[in-house]
Amino acid sequence: MEHCRQFCQEPGLLISVIRHRAGAPSLRLGLGPGLRPVDAIGQLQKLLNCNSFWATARSRVQLRTMLKGSSVVVSAWSGQQLVGFGRANSDGVFRAVLWDVVVAEQSQGHGLGRQLVEALLAAPALAQVERTYLMTTNCEGFYRKLGFNAVQHQRLMRREASGE
Ligand SMILES: CC(C)(COP(=O)(O)OP(=O)(O)OC[C@H]1O[C@@H](n2cnc3c(N)ncnc32)[C@H](O)[C@@H]1OP(=O)(O)O)[C@@H](O)C(=O)NCCC(=O)NCCS
């Protein structure tokens, strides 16, 4: 079951925040609120291209694969327009990681980012986990307000795919 809640971002502007089933099948099919066809993958591609620096140039095929492999996916809509997105992976008990939290520029600064992160954290797959991680370059203050703290005694390590 998808979970949907609506809130007024400002007077007269209603935003729907949808928490999708694992793998976000409706988004992968291109569907938006009310399961209407809205080219959701194309809209997601544009949202990430325009509002992130780490998630640009992802193909439609890659985005579908990404959604399929995500434990929790949230999307935010102003009418049929995608204005926010976030996702997470979780083992359901010990560890979870948030990824790709993005709000469209025109919708930033009115509480939508907070709504998206809170919807991810409230999902059954994340609500009980011991630790939830994320990586951020310049939004530390945003995540601090949501209960995250910088880790001093550990290093972020990564391995790039060969050839990159
Ligand atoms: C970061 C982002 C998701 C925040 O979304 P938003 O809708 O503008 O955030 P909100 O309005 O919900 O802000 C919640 C609180 O965090 C604060 N905040 C927002 N962005 C912040 C930032 N970059 N640094 C510090 N504080 C920030 C707000 O002032 C607000 O504080 P308040 O509760 O005291 O009023 C959005 O700016 C965005 O998409 N940025 C581009 C993509 C990006 O960098 N994403 C983060 C990936 S790690």
CATH number of the domain enclosing 28: 3.40.630.30
Q: How far is CA 62 from the centre of its chain?
A: 16
Query: Residue 164 — very low, low, confident or very high, per pLDDT cuts 50/70/90?
Result: low
Summarised one tens digit per residue, pLDDT across range 70-114 is 999 999 999 999 999 999 999 999 999 999 999 999 999 999 999
Domain that holds residue 120: 3-144
Q: What is the dihedral of CA 122, 6, 32, 136, to 10 degrees?
A: -50
Percent of the chain with pLDDT over 90: 90
User: CA-CA distances (angstroms) from residue 120 to 1, 75, 101, 152, 156?
Assistant: 15, 10, 10, 25, 22
Question: Is 162 within the bounds of a domain?
Answer: no
Whole-structure pTM over 0.85, yes or no?
yes
Pocket of ligand 1 (CB under 6 A): 51-52, 101-103, 108-114, 136, 139, 141-142, 145
Question: Is 130 within the bounds of a domain?
Answer: yes
- Closest atom, ligand 1, to C-alpha of 107: 7
Mean pLDDT over 3-30 rounds to 92
